[in-house]
Amino acid sequence: MSETEFHVGKARIRLVQGDITNMETDAIVNAANSSLMGGGGVDGAIHRKGGPKILEECKRIRAMEWPQGLPTGKAVITSGGSLKARHVIHTVGPIWRGGNRGEPELLAQAYRNSLRLAVKKRLKTVAFPSISTGAYGYPVEDACRVALEAVKDFLEKEDKLDEVVFVLFSESALQVYVDEAKEVFLKAIQMC
């Protein structure tokens, strides 16, 4: 597993290549769809490895809180079932429709609301996949800037998290994130 590290305040940001279902962070984030009933990609992998308990909790959340489905940009939390991570934060990224339908703001909301929920639950370490860049078609070069900026802005205002990890499935996605992170985080250090 290759990795690269950056810092914002007391929090560490790590970029790694790997499978997010293997992470031992307090929470891993699921790039879910609004049904919360599972799907392909990272969603399918999390439910397969985490077992039926996660889906049961998702069904309960749908019934009690979001009968019409979880809106894009919002986040909810379940246990991690049989995953090493104790919790799964389920968020819904936007479907890419060319970039002028509010996609960047909705993607930033997905990251922000996931981190807010982690802080609310007193979690310290959170791992994200590259939300929306699979089936939802968001170009990874655009999505990674939104993702990294959203996390940086959050960590600059909120000091309760110790670590945010981006887990990129492919080496090419990792490289795109690393290049962008140098821009986003090293620029931030120079401004401090």
Q: Which of 25, 72, 125, 132 binds ligand ADP (CB under 6 A)?
A: 132
**Interface with ligand ADP in residues 76-105 (CB under 6 A):** 93
Bridge partners (DSSP) of residue 76 are 90
Helix (H) or strand (E) holding 57: helix 52-64
Residues 6+ apart with CB under 8 A from 112: 150, 153, 154
43 given a catalytic annotation: yes
Identify whether the C-beta of residue 162 lies closer than 8 Å to the C-beta of residue 125: yes
Helix (H) or strand (E) holding 15: strand 11-17
Number of residues that bind ligand ADP (CB under 6 A): 20
Q: State yes or no: residue 180 binds ligand ADP (CB under 6 A).
A: no
Q: Which of 85, 173, 176, 178 binds ligand ADP (CB under 6 A)?
A: 173
Q: Which of 6, 111, 166, 169 binds ligand ADP (CB under 6 A)?
A: 169
Residue of 125, 173, 168 whose CA lies nearest to 1: 168
**Interface with ligand ADP in residues 21-40 (CB under 6 A):** 21, 31
| CA distance linking residue 52 with residue 58, whole number of Å | 10
Residues with catalytic function:
43
Under the rule (CB under 6 A), what is the footprint of ligand ADP?
19-21, 31, 41-43, 45, 93, 129-136, 167, 169, 173
